Structure 1
Amino acid sequence: MDPQLDQAWQELLQAQEHPVRGLVRADVPEGPGVYLWRRNGALSYVGTASNLRGRVWSKHLGVGTSLAGSSLRRNVCELLFAIPPAVTGNPNRMRITAAQASEIREWLGECAVAWVERPTRYEAGVYEGQLRRTHLPHLNRV
């Protein structure tokens, strides 16, 4: 493995974890960065954001029945209910029920999230792309 990539991965893995149940909106920074989700200590998902707070808090922890804005929520939906992300990813297609949205949020509530800020959205995207290709978490899609 590329030593620079290994160092970047270690930085993300060692970033402070925040249990989702105790997370408040103000805890999440507004800058660009890369984030990861863990469940029961196992890496589940890696993502990037131009605004970490908007992505992590508003999109991934959203309570709505549309999953179009969160690939993480779509992939958890597939895991829990066997509904393919291609079906729930289009805002004009299937929406999930309020009960299903609640179960997805409950599943995510049992996770921890960590992040590393980056100076620009571009740098965050490059960083995240390298990490995903090298260490593909089970809830990420190539």
Structure 2
Amino acid sequence: MRELHQDFHPPSTGEWTTLLAAPTVPARELGRAELPDAPGVYLWQRDGRPVYVGMSASLRGRAWGKHLGGGVSLAGSSLRRNVCWLLFSIPPNITSGPARQKVTAEQAAAIRDWLLGCDLSWLEVPSVTAADELERRLRSEYLPDLNRV
């Protein structure tokens, strides 16, 4: 298994500070209905460290539906593909695209379990464009480990 970087130093800009200060919910305890069906930016954290930042037109659909799925196809979630790389050293380009390799049921369960060991926070924004712009700024200031893959 690969390891996450130990050097956690997100910038202390207002946007990162706001996202890091947002309420955090353990993924294991998160119900689908708790996430808004609205555009926004979401942050996955593990052991108090940001590991992935993403955006969506529907926080409920993306952060819950796509990332916490348990299927053997990882094509719909770059986060799941990157966790697969972390756990099993299978590069994301192998599990994405039209000729993608599917993972075993055991690997899919391990990926989901790893994600369920994370915490999730999010910020709603007024539009998909605003979510996309905010995610780009956050990623350019600090690229969490699973966004680096």
TMscore range, shorter length: over 0.9
**In the TM superposition, what are the counterparts of 1:66-81 in structure 2 within 5 Å?**
66-81=73-88
**In the TM superposition, what are the counterparts of 1:21-100 in structure 2 within 5 Å?**
21-100=28-107
**Hey, which bits of structure 1, 4+ residues long, moved more than 4 A?**
none
* Cα deviation, residue 141, structure 1: 3.0
Amino acid at match of 2:136: G
- Distance in 2 (alpha carbons) for counterparts of 1:93 and 1:73: 14
- Distance in 2 (alpha carbons) for counterparts of 1:91 and 1:50: 24
Gaps of 5+ in 1: none
Contact 2:43 2:52 in 1 (8 A): yes
Contact 1:66 1:91 in 2 (8 A): no
- Distance in 2 (alpha carbons) for counterparts of 1:92 and 1:84: 14
Contact 1:37 1:113 in 2 (8 A): yes
* Cα deviation, residue 91, structure 1: 4.7
Specify the SS of the correspondent of 1:53: helix
Normalised by the length of structure 2, the TM-score is 0.89
Gaps of 5+ in 2: 1-11
Overall identity of the aligned pairs, in % = 54
- Distance in 2 (alpha carbons) for counterparts of 1:39 and 1:113: 9
Amino acid at match of 2:31: V
- Distance in 2 (alpha carbons) for counterparts of 1:50 and 1:87: 26
- Distance in 1 (alpha carbons) for counterparts of 2:121 and 2:72: 25
What is the root-mean-square deviation in Å for CA atoms of aligned residues? 1.2
Residue 130 of structure 1 aligns with which residue?
137
Contact 2:75 2:100 in 1 (8 A): no
Residue 124 of structure 2 aligns with which residue?
117
CA-to-partner distance for each residue in 1:71-128, whole Å, 9 max, x for gaps? 1000000000000000101253200011000000000011000000000000000001
Amino acid at match of 2:104: T
Contact 1:39 1:112 in 2 (8 A): yes
Contact 1:34 1:117 in 2 (8 A): yes
Specify the SS of the correspondent of 1:67: coil
Amino acid at match of 2:60: R
Normalised by the length of structure 1, the TM-score is 0.94
- Distance in 1 (alpha carbons) for counterparts of 2:17 and 2:137: 13
